[in-house]
Amino acid sequence: MDRKIPTPLWRKTAEERDSTSVELPDRLVDLVVVGGGYTGLSTALHSAQKGLAVHLIESNHIGYGGSGRNVGLVNAGTWLSPTTVREKLGPSYGDRFIRQFSNSPSLVFDLIEKYQIQCELTKTGTIHAAHSLRGLKDLTERYQEWQRLGEPVELLSSDTTAKMVGTDIFFGGLHDHRAGTINPMGYCRGLARAATAAGVGITTGMQVTKLDRKDGSWTVTTSGGPLQTKAVVLGTNAYTDSLWPGLKKVFTTIHYVQFATKPMGEQASHILPGRQGLWDTGKIMFNIRKDAFGRLFVGTMGRVIGSIDKGLTKRWAQKRIFTAFPDLGNTCFEAAWHGKIAMTPSHLPSIHQLAPHLWTAIGYNGRGITTGTLLGSFMAELLTGSDPINLPFPLTGPKPAPLTGLQTRFYDMAFTAKQLWNSF
Ligand SMILES: Cc1cc2nc3c(=O)[nH]c(=O)nc-3n(C[C@H](O)[C@H](O)[C@H](O)COP(=O)(O)OP(=O)(O)OC[C@H]3O[C@@H](n4cnc5c(N)ncnc54)[C@H](O)[C@@H]3O)c2cc1C
C-alpha cells in the first residue's frame, strides 16, 4: 500500500476538467485498458481511432499515478545516450528507436494542438544543467552525439546557463530545443477528453482485481463487476499492484518529490524567464521549473518527509532554493508531493506480451510523458495487427529484475540521506 501522500498541485491548477466516470459496458468489447495515465489513455485514444471498441478502467482518478504527479518536462530521447541505445538494441532497432524518441515531443505537442488541450504548454526546450565539471563533460559528449545526428541541441556556457536559469550554481548546460514543459495533469485529462470523444468509455474509482482467459476472450473482474473483452492492455507502470503475478518484479520502484512555492511574481522574474524546465547531472537528480503563474518548483529523488510546513524535505527545499537564488528570501510553499517511478535494469522502456492478447508497456525510467504517449500509439498498432518487428525495440516477455524490493529500500535510504546532507 502507498502511504497517504499529499495531493499534487497539478490537480488544483490543471485547467482541463477531470473526466466523468461511466458504467461498465454489458457487451463484449475489443479492448480493456487498465490504468488512466498517459500509457492507458494514449493506447485507448489511438485504438479507438483505429475503430476498436475500448473501455478504460482506473482504480483512482485520471492522472492518479505518475501522469498527474510528474515535473512536466516533455523530453526527447531517453536517459541513455544514442550510442548506448544503439549498443543495447543493435543498429536496426537502435536507429529506429533514436529517431522515434527524438521526435517524440512533437507527437505530444501535436496531440495538444489537435485536441486543444489546456496544459500550460511551453516549447522553449529543456536545460540539462551540469552540477560539476564531470557533468559538463558528459553533457559535452551528449551534445556531440546529438549534433552528429543533426538534432537541435545547444551546449551552453556557464555564463549563458546563469542568464537563462537565474543562478550561477551550474557549470554549463545542454539546451534541447526539441523539448518543452506542460502541466502534466492538464495533458492527462486532455487525453482523457480526447479519448472519450473518440468513443472510449472511462470508468474511474474501480480496481481491476483479476484477469481470466477462456474460450478466446478475457474476463476482467473489477471491484464493480465483470467485463468481457478480446484484449487487455495494462498501463499500470510504477503503480502496478498484484493484478498480474510477477509484473511488479520487473522494475525497481523509486520515489521522486516535488515542492511548489506560491506564485512569486516579479520577485522571481529572473528565474528561468524562458520557462525551460531544468534537471541536473547529479546522480541523485535535482530539478527546477516554473509554471504559467510564476510558481517555482524544486524536486529530487525521494519522498516527502514531513509536510509543506515542517520537516526534512521542507528544509531541503528551502535550502536548495536559497543556495540557487539567495535574493528570494524566505519562500512560501503551496504544495508538496511525491510519486513512484519504475526503473528497469536496461534503462529502456519495454512492451511485454504477458499472455495471448494481453500486453503491458512498462519501465519508462522517469521519462514517461513522451514515452507513454508513444508506446500507447505503438500498442494501438499491435492491437490492430501490426507486426511487432515494426517496433523500435523487441517485443519481450517480462523478466524479473533481481532484488527489486531490497533496491527500493536501499534507494529510499540513500535519497533521505542526501536530503539530510543538502538541508544544512
Ligand atoms: C514525481 C515524478 C516526476 C516525474 N517527472 C517526469 C518528467 O518531468 N517528465 C517525464 O517525461 N516523466 C516524468 N516522470 C515519469 C512519468 O510521470 C511516468 O513515466 C508516466 O506518468 C507513466 O505513465 P503511465 O500511464 O504509464 O502510468 P501512471 O501514470 O503511473 O498510471 C498508472 C495508473 O494505473 C492505475 N492502476 C494501477 N493498478 C490498477 C488496477 N489494478 N486497476 C485499475 N487501475 C490501476 C493507477 O491508479 C494509475 O493511475 C515523473 C514521475 C514522477 C513520479
Q: Hey, what domains does the chain have and what are their CATH numbers?
A: 9-70+185-251+345-401 (3.50.50.60), 126-177 (no CATH)
Is ligand 1 within 6 A of the CB of residue 37? yes
Q: In which band, very low, low, confident or very high, does the pLDDT at 5 lie, cut at 50, 70 and 90?
A: low
Other C-beta atoms within 10 Å of 17: how many?
A: 12
Return the pLDDT at 322: 95
Residue 201 near residue 159, CB atoms below 8 Å:
no
The helix/strand/coil state of 339 is strand
Task: Name the nearest CA neighbour of 130 among 79, 172, 80.
Answer: 172
Distance 93 CA to ligand 1 centre (A): 25
Q: Ligand 1 atom 15: the closest Cα is on which residue?
A: 366
Q: Tell me: the pLDDT tens digits for 147-185?
A: 999 999 999 999 999 999 999 999 999 999 999 999 999
Positive or negative torsion for Cα 185, 190, 193, 199: negative
Q: What does each C-alpha distance from 28 to 5, 14, 41, 55, 244 come to in angstroms?
A: 37, 34, 20, 10, 21
> Is 49 buried (19+), middle (13-18) or exposed (0-12) by CB count in 10 A?
middle
| DSSP output for 265-276 | GGGGTTSSTT--
Is ligand 1 within 6 A of the CB of residue 235? yes
- H-helix or E-strand spanning residue 322: helix 312-324
Among 364, 365, 373, 377, which is best to mutate for testing ligand 1, by the most ligand atoms less than 8 A from CB? Answer: 364
* Cα distance between residue 295 and residue 120, in whole Å: 13
Q: Tell me: the pLDDT tens digits for 278-333?
A: 999 999 999 999 999 999 999 999 999 999 999 999 999 999 999 999 999 888 99
Q: Tell me: the pLDDT tens digits for 215-270?
A: 999 999 999 999 999 999 999 999 999 999 999 999 999 999 999 999 999 999 99
Helices and strands in the chain: count of H runs, count of E runs: 10, 18
In the chain, the percentage of residues whose pLDDT exceeds 70 is: 99
Among 341, 350, 371, 412, which is best to mutate for testing ligand 1, by the most ligand atoms less than 8 A from CB? Answer: 341
Distance 341 CA to ligand 1 centre (A): 7
Is ligand 1 within 6 A of the CB of residue 287? no
* Cα distance between residue 147 and residue 126, in whole Å: 16
Q: Tell me: the pLDDT tens digits for 125-152?
A: 999 999 999 999 999 999 999 999 999 9
* Cα distance between residue 152 and residue 22, in whole Å: 44
Is ligand 1 within 6 A of the CB of residue 344? no
